[in-house]
Amino acid sequence: MKQGKVFLVGAGPGDPKLITIRGMEAIRKADVIVYDRLASPRLLTYRKPEAELIFVGKLPDKHMLKQEEINQLLVDLAMKGKIVTRLKGGDPSVFGRVGEEAELLADHGITFEIIPGISSAIAVPAYAGIPVTHRDFTSSVAIVTGHEYPNKTYSQLDWEHLAKAVGTMIFLMGVANLEQICRELIRFGKPPQMPVALVRWGTWTQQATLTGTLEDIAEKVKLANFQSPAVIIVGEVVKLREKLAWLEKKPLFGRRVLVTRSRSQASELVDLIDEMGGEPVEFPVIRLQAPSRPEVIQALDAALTKDKLQAYDWAIFTSVNGVDFFFRRLSGLGLDIRTLVKARIAAVGPKTAEALQARGLIAEVLPFQFQGEGLLEAIIHELKVGQQVLLPTADIARDYLPQKLKELGLEVTEVDVYENVLDMQDGEGVVDMLRNRDIHIVTFTSSSTVTNLIEALTKKGIEDPISLLKGMKIACIGPKTKETLQSFGLSVDYMAKEATIASLAASMSGSEM
């Protein structure tokens, strides 16, 4: 049997965009991903669909597996010929015990790579507005384990040398021993008023920072019930936080936003939420696919014959998806846009127009109002009785536009070029987050995302999904989506002024006036 390979990967401190390109490559290659609690779960969405996931997370008071068992697990999986990615929070070489895992792999002759990650020791302070060095304060920094194992063989910390020789001190895993850390540093010469900061869940949505001095920080931590995981920063550089804190100023900082769009469409909204400091949580309750019913396929192909395409006076596209699936089918039939020799092109929305332009087509009609009503208003003076219209849509598209065109005496060929299918993959974690009120905003971009989310939650065991959703803020695009939400008794907190993802994001951030 062919032997496998193990990638020992630093996932970074939490923000999934801080992983290295090489680390992302290892995730995408893996047959098995062995991960812990400090690696962002969003990174797992980049795995192969068939990749196996094994959680070996460690809590301060509980280990899923002992370190020796994790070491052996990596060996066993590789011996079975698997490509294994061991995903570890931060950098695997900074108190990550990667050496122990690599040693056992080497003892068994297993090929491995150590892929560094951005250490929480430098990234977490930076996200809190604290650079670990600054020429006005210090040019030296020490990274110290704050968790002393009673049976370890190396010597205890040289507190005297540490206190006198180093400017900034970063303690990892040290919350439980904070009193001792402060006491020893004061004992060996650090002034009691030396600034200290603790940053909990740094770079994550729930990032929180507590500041004080060596003299009072331990008491502040007790009063605030400030729990691990947290990075401790000791030094004059902590004074810069008040001026340099940048993450907390982002409009969606601390907000976790549920994205219900199909995964193929979600990237723009996910990126905008990220840019605004929020954490996007993807639960794509819709999967878009080509028509599956034989009668629909037959009707589509009949509408796309060469003779029919040459006869259309109008080709009206109402969505980016309609454009994408239309051209896929056209290509599959061995045809291209040249067969629409006399059709005028109209599009609903700027994104639809952009999708057409990417294929070399300029939509000559683009309404100011990005929905069917606006398009009809824009082209009504151009329409003539008897004109033939091709209208590629979804299987659940509104009937407003085709109905109005028919009433005006036009011959409308409406064809389903794609269909919406309920998708419930990767939903278990989202259900738990909804139950625990860990989701702050739920976004809807169409009526189908509303109905599909409610159906998905019901099938996931939620008896009353409406009551569950009433506890969150709701953001949506379009009056029809709002009507659907209201029909379920749900109110809309953020309404996009335009039917665009950018407008939806702006409404949530408060920047859309």
368 and 357 both lie in a single domain = yes
pLDDT band at 363 (very low <50, low <70, confident <90, very high): confident
Token duo for residue 337: 């846009």
3-class DSSP state of 324: helix
222 and 272 both lie in a single domain = no
Whether residue 301 lies in the annotated active site: no
408 and 429 both lie in a single domain = no
Task: Report yes or no: 401 and 375 within 8 Å, Cβ to Cβ.
Answer: yes
Q: Is residue 195 part of a domain?
A: yes
Q: Is residue 229 part of a domain?
A: yes
308 and 409 both lie in a single domain = yes
Q: Is residue 331 part of a domain?
A: yes
The residue among 118, 147, 177 that closes a domain is 118
Q: Buried b / exposed e across 313-340, counting CB within 10 Å, b at 16+?
A: bbbbbbbbbbbbbbbebbeeeebebebb
Nearest of 501, 448, 454, 511 to residue 475 by alpha carbon: 501
Tell me the pLDDT of the chain averaged across its residues: 89
Give how far Cα 175 sits from Cα of 34, 36, 219, Å.
26, 20, 12
230 and 262 both lie in a single domain = no
DSSP labels for 395-441? TT--SHHHHHHHHTT-EEEEEEEEEEEE--TT-HHHHHHHHTT---E
11 and 104 both lie in a single domain = yes
| Arithmetic mean of pLDDT, 177-189 | 94
Q: Show the domain range for 23.
A: 5-118
| Arithmetic mean of pLDDT, 260-282 | 87
H/E run at residue 449? helix 447-459
| Arithmetic mean of pLDDT, 485-505 | 93
185 and 265 both lie in a single domain = no
Marked catalytic residue, from 82, 91, 169, 173 = 173
Q: Is residue 113 part of a domain?
A: yes
Marked catalytic residue, from 15, 31, 36, 324 = 36
Q: Is residue 321 part of a domain?
A: yes
Q: Is residue 172 part of a domain?
A: yes
Q: What is the pLDDT of residue 422?
A: 81
CATH code of the domain in which 149 resides = 3.30.950.10
The residue among 391, 420, 449 that closes a domain is 420
103 and 31 both lie in a single domain = yes
Nearest of 440, 507, 444, 80 to residue 283 by alpha carbon: 444
Give how far Cα 7 sits from Cα of 75, 78, 102, 116, 184, Å.
12, 10, 10, 10, 39
80 and 147 both lie in a single domain = no
Q: What is the pLDDT of residue 513?
A: 45
CATH code of the domain in which 34 resides = 3.40.1010.10
The letter for the amino acid at 203 is T
Whether residue 173 lies in the annotated active site: yes
Q: pLDDT for 284-331, tens place per residue? A: 888 888 999 999 999 999 999 999 999 999 999 988 889 999 999 999
Q: What is the pLDDT of residue 300?
A: 93
DSSP H helices in 85-177? 98-107, 120-127, 159-165
What does DSSP say about strands 195-200 and 208-213: parallel, antiparallel, or unpaired? antiparallel
Place of tokens 């309920």: 422
Q: What is the pLDDT of residue 154?
A: 41
Place of tokens 């028509």: 291
300 and 416 both lie in a single domain = yes
Task: Report yes or no: 47 and 53 within 8 Å, Cβ to Cβ.
Answer: yes
Q: What is the pLDDT of residue 366?
A: 67
Q: Residue 183: pLDDT above 50?
A: yes
pLDDT band at 511 (very low <50, low <70, confident <90, very high): low
Q: pLDDT for 405-448, tens place per residue? A: 898 998 999 999 998 888 777 666 888 899 999 999 999 998 98
Q: Residue 373: pLDDT above 70?
A: no
Marked catalytic residue, from 58, 80, 404, 480 = 58
CATH code of the domain in which 501 resides = 3.40.50.10090
229 preceded by cis ω (within 30°)? yes
* Distance of alpha carbon 286 from alpha carbon 266, whole angstroms: 11
pLDDT band at 367 (very low <50, low <70, confident <90, very high): low
pLDDT band at 153 (very low <50, low <70, confident <90, very high): very low
Q: pLDDT for 38-47, tens place per residue? A: 889 889 989 9
Whether residue 313 lies in the annotated active site: no
* Distance of alpha carbon 70 from alpha carbon 439, whole angstroms: 32
* Distance of alpha carbon 38 from alpha carbon 426, whole angstroms: 19
Q: Is residue 290 part of a domain?
A: no
Q: What is the pLDDT of residue 417?
A: 93
Which residues lie below 8 Å from residue 403, measured CB to CB, with a gap of 6+? none
45 and 87 both lie in a single domain = yes
Q: Residue 402: pLDDT above 80?
A: yes
Nearest of 215, 209, 188, 184 to residue 197 by alpha carbon: 209
* Number of domains composing the chain: 4
Task: Report yes or no: 285 and 452 within 8 Å, Cβ to Cβ.
Answer: yes
Q: What is the pLDDT of residue 58?
A: 62
The residue among 89, 118, 147 that closes a domain is 118
Q: Residue 468: pLDDT above 80?
A: yes
Nearest of 440, 370, 380 to residue 407 by alpha carbon: 380
pLDDT band at 496 (very low <50, low <70, confident <90, very high): very high
Q: 10 Å Cβ neighbour count for 87?
A: 29
113 and 132 both lie in a single domain = no
Q: Is residue 55 part of a domain?
A: yes
* Distance of alpha carbon 180 from alpha carbon 198, whole angstroms: 15
